[in-house]
Amino acid sequence: MKTKRILALYSGGLDSNVSVFWMKKLGFDVIPIFFETPFFSRHKVLKTAQANNLDIKVIDITESHLKMLTNPVYGYGKHFNPCIDCHGLMFRTLKEYLELYEADFVISGEVVNQRPMSQRYDSMNAVKKISTIGDLIVRPLCQKRLPDTLPIREGWVNKDDLLGISGRSRTEQLKIAEDFGLKDIPNSGGGCLLTDKSYSERLKDLIDHNQLNLQNIRFLKVGRHFWINDNLKLVISRHIDELDYLHTIIKDETVLKCLEVPGPLGILVTDEPIEADDLKKAAKLLLRYCPKANEDEIVNYGKQFNLDNTIST
């Protein structure tokens, strides 16, 4: 019988790595696919994949993910994380790649009752409904506890070869990972920014101000944030690491800086012209975080950002 090729929903974490290598051990040709958005990036995932000699495919789903984020069918978790809808979207997108990669079905590293929102029995049933691919999903780590899907009913996968893990403990997965010799596996907790309380609050605030776009999202990870008006936000850097990051994302935003003394930068984020009064308000706010500046300190502003904190107009 021809070796079955499968697509793996790959996060770079312990469970997804164990599920990939478990299926490879069973003789399947496994293609790991990582879906990237502004809330979970490829950097750490690529490092883990490389350490374990996995050739992963990275697919950016930002556009469809942002649409889903503002109106998820199954709502949010503890913070601003629409985990059920997110998993459904990823499986639905995997379906589009089955033909391209000549694959037969898909797998994921989900474990029953490991996550409070997305990995309960009812949540997995919900994912099955909205994924449009539910009968082609196999979850190798816990499939013995789940109803049979098409690959099992058709004999493509022997259910006895799969696992029945349940709960939050990682003991069994860690043992299997050790047996496989897996390296650089990240700690538990996930890498999705939407599960972070302060980040989620900033994101919701951005949506409430009708300012949700990719460039504005890039600023959410750093700095202090102040709304000057409903269309103008001031982001003030806090330390040198944030300056390094800002250097990589600033495009044509207006940048404020104390002219004569060292201190933070202020980035004005907006898609509209900045009024003089609003510029003054932003400058006064920035001066609060320049302890060596006095009230008469001049704040310089311009359109170019340099890593040494200088401004060219």
pLDDT in tens, 106-116: 999 999 887 76
d(CA 32, CA 174): 20
Closest CA to 214 of 78, 66, 111, 93: 66
The residues facing 267 across adjacent strands are 235, 255
| Mean pLDDT for the chain overall | 89
Nearest-angstrom CA–CA distance, 97 and 119: 24
> Looking at the predicted structure, is the pLDDT value of residue 247 above 70?
yes
Residue 115 φ/ψ, nearest 5 degrees: -110, 140
Give the CATH fold of the 5-192 domain.
Rossmann fold (3.40.50)
**Quick one: average pLDDT of 191-210?**
92
Residue 193 pLDDT:
93
CA distance 77 to 117: 6
What local confidence, expressed as pLDDT, does residue 298 receive? Answer: 64
- What is the pLDDT, as a whole number, of residue 307? 40
Please tell me the least confidently modeled range out of 51-55, 101-105, 157-161, 299-303: 299-303
pLDDT tens digits, 63-82: 999 999 999 999 998 889 89
What does the pLDDT read at residue 11? 93
Total residue count of the chain as it appears in this document: 313
How many percent of the chain have pLDDT more than 70? 92
Q: What is the pLDDT of residue 118?
A: 66
- Per the CB < 8 A criterion, the answer to whether 34 and 42 are in contact is yes
**Number of Cβ within a 10 Å radius of residue 220:** 21
State the average pLDDT over residues 170-174: 94
Q: 126: helix, coil or strand?
A: helix
For residue 162, give the DSSP letter.
S
pLDDT of amino acid 227: 96
pTM of the model: 0.87
Backbone angles phi, psi at 70, to 5 degrees: -80, -15
What is Dmax (Cα atoms) for the chain?
Answer: 80
- Per domain, the residue ranges of the chain are 5-192, 209-312
Q: Residue 201 has what pLDDT?
A: 95
Cβ neighbours of residue 284 under 8 Å, at least 6 residues apart? none
Q: How far is CA 274 from CA 91, 144, 226, in A?
A: 43, 60, 15
Q: At 266, is the secondary structure helix, strand, or coil?
A: strand
112: which DSSP letter? Answer: B
pLDDT score at 243:
86
